Amino acid sequence: MSGVRRNLPAVSQHSESGPRSAAARAWQRAMRWGSSWCAVLVSVSCGLVAIAFAAPKNQEFLALGWLLLSLTVSVSLVWRRRMPVVVCLSAAGLSLVAPLDPFAALLAWSWVLTLRRGLPAWLCGFTTSLTVAAALTRDYLRPPRHTLFAFTEPDSGEHISAPGPAYLVVGLVAVLSFWAWGMVRRSRRETRVAMATELERAKEASHLRNELSSQEERQLIAREVHDTVAHQLSLVALQASALEVGDRDPQAARNIRGAAQNALDEVRALLGWLRDGESPATQTGSLADLPQLIEDARGSGAQVISSIYVEDVASTPAPLSRAIYRIVQECLTNALRHAPGEVVMVEIAGPAHDAFRIEVRNRVCDPVREQLLGSGSGRAGMIERARSLGGSLTASRSGEEFVVSAHLPRQSEHAPAGPPSTRTGPAVTSRSGEVGGGQ
């Protein structure tokens, strides 16, 4: 339930950011088309200037053909993002066979550098550089009065063209400028891709964390239901067996009713915890409840010999106190189920060397019965409880006995979620050699 509440703000945030993201995408689309047509207009302008200087007199049809080629190359810049290599090579090839301006080839080459690597980028770079060199060479070889890079002497009125090194500098500046522009755009694009990838990974990691958290909560709920309800129902089954084989026994009937009521109270407490996240004050499950747990087991006919010595119950962390109670409860439940009528030895001491030691043993009367009735979930739950607190637990057969031994540190960085118990006392000391169901 808590996981659902944590996810609600995130959902509302995504829902609010939907219109903004749509507006941002529309703005980016408008900017992309605007920049494309601006590039087309600049290329057309550069092409008109180049054709005006290169077109011979009295050859209007040739100039018109060059103009159509220039318009075609300029309009192809609209697809420079989708097909940068094709646009670049086409513009460079047409600029080599006709006196067209190399602006379109340079701009397409910058997008090749942005979107492509390896041989396509090198091939387009070589072709574009060759196109720039060809355009500057044609301008340099024309008469001074028909060159783009020329000036008029104020005194004599003579037209003087720029020297060859100046053309070389202009060509290098043009090529290097568009190369730098393409590399900067590539760097920005790779940065955006890396950020998007990192964001996607963060979302996946958050999703996995939520899944793990939900799985842990489900496992915790399963353990709590198993430990609380299974114990009470085992007592009910034991009392029902006594009624089945014996005479009418009002005390046994009262015990059955009490065990059933306790099971119902435990289920209600768990449901309240799931709804509110808080444990009711009447819920049992702490070190202070251990003597009553053992007495209830004896009252149901179990033969329990206990030796419990625990110091300073009030300062024991609630998760640790609850874990000790649940482990002992599960051991008693297993003993009642798998070895009815056998003596159960319960020893609890702590905190010795800043840790609690738990040992529960009983004789295994029928291994086949143990295999048929045991699902292994209770044993796995006890092991998981101990590990969650930084401790250890073993549950296995030792000769003719089944022994559960646990070591739980008092101070632990692990704190499993769950409804903490509120019933504590200063100390619990119990030494009992009673065998059977009397007090």
pLDDT digits (tens, 9 = 90+) for 399-410: 888 999 999 998
| pLDDT in the model for residue 248 | 59
pTM comes to: 0.46
Q: Average pLDDT in the 86-101 region?
A: 88
| pLDDT in the model for residue 289 | 86
- Which is more confident, 218 or 77? 77
Helix residue ranges per DSSP H, 246-342: 250-276, 290-299, 318-338
Identify the band that residue 438 occupies on the pLDDT scale cut at 50, 70 and 90.
very low
pLDDT at 87 over 60: yes
Do residues 39 and 77 lie in contact, with contact meaning Cβ atoms separated by under 8 Å? yes
Q: Average pLDDT in the 240-263 region?
A: 63
Please, what sign has the CA dihedral across residues 358, 361, 367, 369? negative
Identify the band that residue 319 occupies on the pLDDT scale cut at 50, 70 and 90.
confident
Contacts of 303 by beta carbon, 8 Å cutoff, 6+ apart: 341, 342, 343, 344, 435, 436, 437
pLDDT tens-digit series, residues 135-187: 888 888 887 777 777 767 676 667 777 788 888 898 899 999 999 999 998 99
pLDDT at 314 over 60: yes
Calpha distance 322→385 (Å, rounded) = 10
Closest by Cα among 109, 76, 119, 128 to 186: 109
Q: Percent of the chain scored above 70 by pLDDT?
A: 68
Contacts of 183 by beta carbon, 8 Å cutoff, 6+ apart: 113
| pLDDT in the model for residue 2 | 37
Q: What is the CA radius of gyration of the chain?
A: 43
Identify the band that residue 16 occupies on the pLDDT scale cut at 50, 70 and 90.
very low
pLDDT at 389 over 90: no
| pLDDT in the model for residue 394 | 92
Do residues 69 and 94 lie in contact, with contact meaning Cβ atoms separated by under 8 Å? yes
Structure tokens at 408: 């739980």
Please work out, in degrees rounded to the nearest 5, the angle formed at the alpha carbon of residue 233 by the alpha carbons of 232 and 235: 65
Contacts of 35 by beta carbon, 8 Å cutoff, 6+ apart: none
Q: Average pLDDT in the 414-439 region?
A: 44
Q: Average pLDDT in the 83-101 region?
A: 88
| pLDDT in the model for residue 118 | 87
Contacts of 431 by beta carbon, 8 Å cutoff, 6+ apart: 306, 307, 308, 309
Q: Average pLDDT in the 119-124 region?
A: 90
pLDDT at 31 over 60: yes
Q: Which domains does the chain have, with CATH numbers?
A: 2-150+158-162 (no CATH), 209-432 (3.30.565.10)
Structure tokens at 415: 């704190």
pLDDT at 28 over 70: yes
Closest by Cα among 136, 26, 33 to 78: 33
| Amino acid present at 329 | Q
Q: Average pLDDT in the 307-328 region?
A: 85
pLDDT at 426 over 70: no
- Which is more confident, 253 or 117? 117
pLDDT at 372 over 60: no
| pLDDT in the model for residue 425 | 41
Calpha distance 126→159 (Å, rounded) = 33
Can the peptide bond before residue 143 be classed as cis, meaning omega within 30 degrees of 0?
Answer: no
Q: Average pLDDT in the 200-216 region?
A: 80
| pLDDT in the model for residue 228 | 63
Calpha distance 154→316 (Å, rounded) = 101
Q: Average pLDDT in the 321-329 region?
A: 89
pLDDT at 386 over 60: yes
Kindly report the backbone phi and psi dihedral angles of residue 73, in degrees, each rounded to the nearest multiple of 5, phi listed first.
-65, -40
Q: Average pLDDT in the 84-89 region?
A: 90
Least confident of 112-121, 223-232, 284-293: 223-232
| pLDDT in the model for residue 383 | 86
pLDDT at 422 over 70: no
Q: Average pLDDT in the 63-86 region?
A: 87
Calpha distance 261→263 (Å, rounded) = 5
Reduced to 3 states (helix: H, G, I; strand: E, B; else coil), residue 262 is helix
Please state at what angle helix 103-115 crosses helix 119-141, rounded to 10 degrees: 160
| pLDDT in the model for residue 408 | 92
Q: Average pLDDT in the 269-298 region?
A: 70
| pLDDT in the model for residue 281 | 44
In 94-219, where do the E strands start and end? Answer: 150-152, 159-161
| pLDDT in the model for residue 277 | 55
